[in-house]
Amino acid sequence: MASIEEVVPASIIGTSLARVDGPLKVSGGAMYSSDHNFPGMLYAVPVCSTIAKGTITSLDSSAAEAMPGVQAVYHRKNIGQLFRAAPPVGFSGLIDERRPPFEDDVIRYYGQYVAVVVAQTFEQAMAASAAVKVSYAGEKPDVSTTLSSDEKPKVDTTRGDADGAFASAAVKVDETYVTPVETHNPIELHASVAVWDGKGFTLYETSQAVGNHREVMAQMLGVPLENVRVISRFLGSGFGGKLWPWPHCLLAAAASRNLNRPVKLVVSRKMMFQNVGHRPLTQQRIRLGATADGMLTSLQHDSLNHTSILDDYGEGCGEATGYLYSTANLRVTSGLVRRNVGNPTAMRGPGAVPGLYALESAMDELAIKLKMDPVELRLKNEPKLDESLGIPFSSRHLKECLTVGAEKFGWSQRKAGVGAMQRDGLTLGWGVGVCSWIAARIGCEATVELKADGTARVACGTQDIGTGTYTILAQIVAEKAGIPIEKVEVVLGDTKLPAGPISGGSWVTSSVIPAVADATQKAMQTVLMAAVQGKDARFAGKKPEDLVFSGGRVQVKGGSAETSVAYAEVLRAANLGGVSGTGKSEGTFGVPPKVSQHSFGAQFVEVTWQPATARLRVNRVVTVIDAGRVLNTRAGRNQIEGAVMMGVGMAMLEHTTYDQRNGAPINSNLADYVVATHADTPQIDVTFLDYPDLSLNEYGARGIGEIGLAGIAAAITGAVYHATGVRVRELPVRIEDLLGGTARA
Ligand code: MOS
């Protein structure tokens, strides 16, 4: 007779599972922020400045106020008091634009909100917003894309003598790389539905971090924290643009309070380019020094990025530079340059994504100078430990990413030399780049309830931005309790729930595992107590420690499986509706690390080039990712595929262009701001090495939302060089670049 320990169902960790929220999404049942409607709800439409620098000299809302359905037009003089958010502490109090809307009459970027119209219908509010007459004293804005800074750059990391070693290096690369402004374009627009109840707010927000959102809104609105509830059940993605609150959130809330009515404000696609952040323009100088046989002797990475007039957003381009390669001499610096733009914000893989475009491009240029295979160059400079921190890596398999990727791609067939490879009348270009991303945990709490109807419920105040978080939580509970995943209900995205991590940094999975596992264990333990308490208990007379909970059933330790009892039955016998457990885990930030925790990967790219028609296509990508244990291979592969597509967009298409005369983002719509679509998507082969990183959690998962985007652009531009002989050092690659000598605007 098999004991219950031997009939535990096969693990669902590391398998390919469909999303538990999939049916709700495809059937239209998932409630996104702007899907919330309430009786008496009004619609708000902001009025945006038509200059990027200057002051408001007059604002006349009388015509707008007289229009049908208009309830109010708010501006600096009548919106009421709004405060600045206090300086952040950890992951709390974060907002990229700290100035509350309408704080003064100064305009610092194009599209800045100057008023907001509230009307009975959206159409009425739109029409009236166009009728608000605003006069300005405008000055010439600075949206120049050439960055220079008089300020001394900040030294982020340094070791050895980078200048001296560079001066005496046998082989050198000294190049500057530029990445343009990229705008987050999730399909779901930012939205706020604010409901004031006379005392506090319920805010339906497009938020990747409901807890932080609540703190910031409470401060800026001047209400006690406990009187604010933030809900963000489903997100049509965010890419980082929805991490922190933006000014429109304050407009909706203030209007709701002033009018004592629910107010809905949906940011337009055009406003998405003006008012809710972007990846900043970066300009990065990389200096590499090497011996004639390809050992790095010096690495310098000096980056600048633009930021807004009032707020400091540092992209952190050198994020991965300090630990990626072995070199005794290194210096990473960064600086900010102010422009008349809205404040930048984190965009998928902030820092590492533009940073690795520059560093990995320079490594490719170095390999060419050395007449060395670019894969070989990287293998040769693999460090034994994190040389920046002087501590070992928790789990680093970058060499294997490179060798496995080279094998899958067929890299050994590579012929070096521009235009050396042809197929079917096309010139082939092959390129490679490596990627890395920080692994970490954020503090997390979760509650798990095991119910008498045989289902379970897990609640956590984190969010699912479309990455699969609902499914991951269900998997953890199902795995721990040994119950079918379809029996697990997951509740997320509400500040009433136990505090969960921000949906950022690719940190959710690693953060929720210990808390959810702990909560499940505690609930299971309570089931065992219920199993022995009272004379009707199914295991009356036993002690909890005599029992074991496994496979959703309770059994005497070592006893036969046939006498086991379903936990639901144990609860029903005790007349319990359910029992719950609360789990908690600590974050890794602020704790001096003993090991360097990062994910790694290698990207191999094939482009095809048809010189006669100047047709360039990204044809094939092989990506090998070392991100610890992957809990759900389907959701995981999906993350990497999406990131690779976004990398194709970054390399070939995406750039926000500002009108130098008035500072307006010109291509502020999805027809002119081109993102990669299915038709642009290469064949993508994703491999996970799947080495558990147990320094983070018991399953060894690190998170995979961002890493897949890093390294792709450099691999593409390396492939473009291989095919065409043109090294593109300013993204995106334009056909003009490849025609030889056409000046860049
Ligand atoms: Mo990500 S840029 O941390 O949402």
**Per-residue pLDDT tens for 536-562?**
899 999 999 999 999 999 999 988 888
- Tokens found for residue 670: 């999805």
Please tell me the distance from the alpha carbon of residue 615 to that of residue 738, in angstroms, as a whole number.
Answer: 10
Binding site membership of 350 for ligand 1 (Cβ less than 6 Å): yes
- Tokens found for residue 738: 């490849």
Mutation test residue for ligand 1: of 348, 353, 437, 639, the one with most atoms within 8 Å of CB: 348
Binding site membership of 345 for ligand 1 (Cβ less than 6 Å): no
Please tell me the distance from the alpha carbon of residue 666 to that of residue 656, in angstroms, as a whole number.
Answer: 7
User: What is the fold of 3-30+441-585?
Assistant: Aldehyde Oxidoreductase; domain 4 (3.30.365)
Q: Which helix (H) or strand (E) covers residue 687, if one does?
A: strand 683-688
Spell out the CATH class of 33-141+184-272. Answer: alpha beta
Confidence at residue 2, expressed as pLDDT on a 0 to 100 scale? 47
Q: Which helix (H) or strand (E) covers residue 271, if one does?
A: helix 269-272
Instruction: Give the mean model confidence (pLDDT) for residues 377-396.
Output: 98
Per-residue pLDDT band for 740 (boundaries 50, 70, 90) equals low
> Ligand 1 centroid to 3 CA: how many Å?
46
Confidence at residue 43, expressed as pLDDT on a 0 to 100 scale? 99
Alpha helices in 482-614 (DSSP H): 508-532, 567-573
> 424 CB contacts (<8 Å, ≥6 apart)?
none
DSSP state of 112: -
Confidence at residue 506, expressed as pLDDT on a 0 to 100 scale? 97
Q: pLDDT by residue (tens digit) across 18-68?
A: 999 999 999 999 999 999 999 999 999 999 999 999 999 999 999 999 999
* Cβ atoms of 232 and 33 closer than 8 Å: yes
Per-residue pLDDT band for 745 (boundaries 50, 70, 90) equals very low
Mutation test residue for ligand 1: of 243, 508, 639, the one with most atoms within 8 Å of CB: 243
Binding site membership of 344 for ligand 1 (Cβ less than 6 Å): no
Confidence at residue 739, expressed as pLDDT on a 0 to 100 scale? 87
Ligand 1, atom 4, lies closest to the CA of: 240
Please tell me the distance from the alpha carbon of residue 118 to that of residue 258, in angstroms, as a whole number.
Answer: 11
Please tell me the distance from the alpha carbon of residue 678 to that of residue 684, in angstroms, as a whole number.
Answer: 12
> Ligand 1 centroid to 609 CA: how many Å?
34
CB atoms within 10 A of CB 725: 13
> Ligand 1 centroid to 240 CA: how many Å?
4
pLDDT at 7 over 70: no
Weakest-pLDDT range from 235-239, 266-270, 610-614:
610-614
- Tokens found for residue 306: 């633009």
Quote the mean pLDDT of the chain: 96
Confidence at residue 744, expressed as pLDDT on a 0 to 100 scale? 37
Confidence at residue 219, expressed as pLDDT on a 0 to 100 scale? 98
Whose structure tokens read 């994910």?
599
Confirm whether 706 is a catalytic residue.
Answer: yes
> Ligand 1 centroid to 705 CA: how many Å?
8
Q: pLDDT by residue (tens digit) across 445-467?
A: 999 999 999 999 999 999 999 99
- Tokens found for residue 525: 């333990």
Binding site membership of 348 for ligand 1 (Cβ less than 6 Å): yes
Binding site membership of 578 for ligand 1 (Cβ less than 6 Å): no
Instruction: Give the mean model confidence (pLDDT) for residues 582-605.
Output: 96
> Ligand 1 centroid to 610 CA: how many Å?
37
Q: pLDDT by residue (tens digit) across 686-720?
A: 999 999 999 999 999 999 999 999 999 999 999 99
Binding site membership of 646 for ligand 1 (Cβ less than 6 Å): no
Instruction: Give the mean model confidence (pLDDT) for residues 191-214.
Output: 98
pLDDT at 633 over 60: yes
Q: For the chain, what percent of residues have pLDDT higher than 70?
A: 98
> Of the residues 65, 706, 730, 736, which is catalytic?
706
* Cβ atoms of 432 and 715 closer than 8 Å: yes
DSSP state of 329: -
Confidence at residue 562, expressed as pLDDT on a 0 to 100 scale? 84
Please tell me the distance from the alpha carbon of residue 470 to that of residue 233, in angstroms, as a whole number.
Answer: 10
Confidence at residue 6, expressed as pLDDT on a 0 to 100 scale? 46
> Ligand 1 centroid to 350 CA: how many Å?
7
Q: pLDDT by residue (tens digit) across 350-371?
A: 999 999 999 999 999 999 999 9
Instruction: Give the mean model confidence (pLDDT) for residues 93-111.
Output: 97
3-class SS at 590? coil
Please identify, by atom number, the ligand 1 atom nearest to the C-alpha of residue 240. 4
Binding site membership of 347 for ligand 1 (Cβ less than 6 Å): yes
Q: pLDDT by residue (tens digit) across 293-319?
A: 999 999 999 999 999 999 999 999 999
Q: For the chain, what percent of residues have pLDDT higher than 90?
A: 95
Please identify, by atom number, the ligand 1 atom nearest to the C-alpha of residue 242. 4
Within the chain, all domains assigned CATH 3.30.365.10 are found at 3-30+441-585, 33-141+184-272
The answer to whether the predicted template modeling score (pTM) of the entire model surpasses 0.85 is yes
Q: Nearest to residue 265, comparing CAs of 177, 223, 176, 203?
A: 203
> Ligand 1 centroid to 261 CA: how many Å?
33
Look at phi and psi of residue 227 and say left if phi exceeds 0, alpha if psi is from -120 to 50, else beta: alpha
Please identify, by atom number, the ligand 1 atom nearest to the C-alpha of residue 349. 2
Binding site membership of 346 for ligand 1 (Cβ less than 6 Å): yes
Please identify, by atom number, the ligand 1 atom nearest to the C-alpha of residue 506. 3
Binding site membership of 442 for ligand 1 (Cβ less than 6 Å): no
Binding site membership of 643 for ligand 1 (Cβ less than 6 Å): no
